[in-house]
A and B are shown apart, each in its own frame.
Chain A
Amino acid sequence: MLRYRNLLEALAAAPANRPFVTAWVDEDEQQTLTFAEFRLRARQQANILRDHRVAAGDRVVIIMPQRIPAMTTFVGAMMLGAVPTFLAYPNFKIEPAKYRSGLAGVTANLKARVVVIDQEFPDDMLGHVSLGAETKLIRIGVGTPAQGDTEILTPKIEPDSLAFIQHSAGTTGLQKGVALTHAAGLRQLEHLSRALKIDGKTDRIYSWLPLYHDMGLIACFMLPMVCHIPLVMQSPMDWVMHPRTMLQIISEHKCTLAWMPNFAFQFLPRRTPPSRWAQYDLSSVRALINCSEPVRANSMLEFENAFAAAGLKSAALHSSYAMAENVFAVTQSSIDGSHGPARLCADGVQFRGAHRIVPAVEGTPGAMAFTSSGRLLPHHEIRILSDAGTILGESCVGEILVKSDCLFDGYYNRPDLTAQALVAGWYRTGDLGFCRDGELYVVGRKKDLLIIGGENIYPQDIEEIVEGHSAIHDGRVIAMGVYNPDLGTEDIVVVAEVERDELLTGAAEIERELRSLVVAGMGVAIRSIFLKPPKWIVKSTAGKPARSATREKLFQEHPELGVDS
């Protein structure tokens, strides 16, 4: 990769007739473009953009359905030396007002030359988006590609020119635009492809990941583009509706690599009837990588147990720690081994109280299991920092700081946010974790952490215990810290959905059982448990409980909890 000066040179070097993208809609509707066809379509899109006076350095915001035209528009913009970015296309589950305000915020900050939408983009979602005098809205047809081919006179694109902007995770309106150069992108892809031992002749990626997210954009678009390997992609919405189509596509196309966040490792087996598990063929998969959320050992195990019957090799389950600010991956679990990522059992009391990892025998009461996110990629460094700002050693838990040769230079147009995040060349991730034996373990987000009487409590650990109770719906539990002014510390409050309404009549008994389970498992007491009927907890896209929205709802229904700060 380092032999290329920019990402477009890497695309230009791809074999003309090799398949690149297959957009999978359903059994009857699939479209595949070879690398040559993709390059042609990208040039056609570049022509359209040039007609709208897009030039080098201009920002191009792309809000199109997750299909091939979105991708060719992205590359077409790069061919002009412009700086493209994907934003989420509105879907049936979004809140229109929130979407509109997010869109307005992000586009205003980017001062884009054009915002590209498709013909079917719903007008009510554009609302009052103030596009500014310099910004033009253009609609590009998704169905009928532009005709003709003109050579695009690509301006000289230096390695340190901006290649694209990807938005960090977060609520749409608060998303930060991470500006990345061609060189940073190529260096990341070089490290990642080596760590994954990418083979241009045999590898094939499967993805349902949104292109506006780093996993979708880097691992499942830029990586195959630069390494010249095929990609089979579906839209995130189609996947959420019918998650098992992922298993079907991997079986049919013999995909070898895929990424997904931790929740999907549980979502898939739970949304696929057990009678069907063995019908799929996942034997082609050599790495299914758990990425972008803390890796939970139980989720990996649930997936492995379900799909071993489909030929899934347990050594094929992997993990990675990645973020938009570093282009993508910081760590990757070793692909060589006969097993997946390293696991570790440690004493829970030491972990919470002293913020240290003291190994314990698996199965000992109070012991906790951790799954590694892998080893650092070359030219990457991390530091673990205490709250007081001192650098911690191995086996100590603190905030993860990252430095690398592909780190971003700053958030687009936001020097204020950049100054908070980048300190002397180190990026403060806001994630908590520890290092041991060369492996990085990520344990949670700093802002989600509950500090109870000096002990660090990770809400996920409480949630896992509570959802293990037979009356509680799996995955529908949120633990949160609520400040107790009398004690000067936070108390733990849990809200959980019962499996069926009738169970609420036995709420007192269930509550008592949950309290003793949490005390036994973690040595901490819960102040209040709120048992709710099914579907009470507010969910995010793809069905994960939405922490802050649920908290807000709970405070509204239970003003006795006090004022939320």
Chain B
Amino acid sequence: MTAEAQQMIQHIVQLIRKPGVTLDENTPLVSSGLIDSMSLIDLLLKLEDLTHMRIPAGKVQPKDLDTVAKMFATAQRVGKPRK
């Protein structure tokens, strides 16, 4: 796992505030109800910071953010390098 993915996992753990929950790159987040839809904006902004990319939100669907691994794959697919 990359350091960025690790940081994202830490960020999500803080966000969901559920003691005892452990996450890895492939834990379903949206489909399992662990995170709500509003937190997704926060996650996308964090993803932009971690990848130094600009991610066009209109091209992102719920399934693209369901796991940390998918988030980084989505950033690679639709993200643009930030100036």
Contact = CB atoms under 8 A, between A and B. Distances in A.
A93 B80 contact: no
Contact of A120 (B37, B59, B83): B59
The B interface, classified by DSSP as helix, strand, loop or mixed, is helix
A235 interface: yes
B76 interface: no
A538 B36 contact: yes
Contact of B80 (A26, A241, A501, A543): A26
Interface string B53-83: 0111111111111000000000000001001
A241 B37 contact: no
Interface in A111-129: 120, 122, 124-125
Contacts of B13: none
A150 to B, nearest CB: 31
B58 A65 contact: yes
A240 interface: yes
A255 B62 CA distance: 34
A28 B82 CA distance: 10
B15 interface: yes
A252 interface: no
B61 to A, nearest CB: 5
B8 to A, nearest CB: 16
Interface size classification for chain A: 20 to 34
B50 interface: no
Interface string B34-47: 00111111001100
B56 A25 contact: yes
Contacts of A94: 37, 62
Nearest to A236: B58
Nearest to A95: B37
Contacts of A539: 36-38
A324 B25 CA distance: 45
B14 to A, nearest CB: 11
A240 B36 contact: no
A213 to B, nearest CB: 16
A333 interface: no
Given A91-B61, A124-B63, A237-B57, 7 more contacts: A65-B59, A91-B60, A92-B60, A120-B59, A535-B17, A539-B38, A543-B38
Interface of A: 25-28, 65-66, 89-96, 120, 122, 124-125, 235, 237-238, 240-241, 501, 533, 535, 538-539, 543
28 contacts: A26-B56, A65-B59, A90-B62, A91-B57, A91-B58, A91-B60, A92-B40, A92-B57, A92-B60, A92-B62, A92-B64, A93-B38, A93-B40, A94-B62, A120-B59, A122-B61, A122-B63, A124-B63, A125-B61, A235-B58, A238-B57, A241-B44, A535-B36, A535-B38, A535-B39, A538-B38, A539-B37, A539-B38
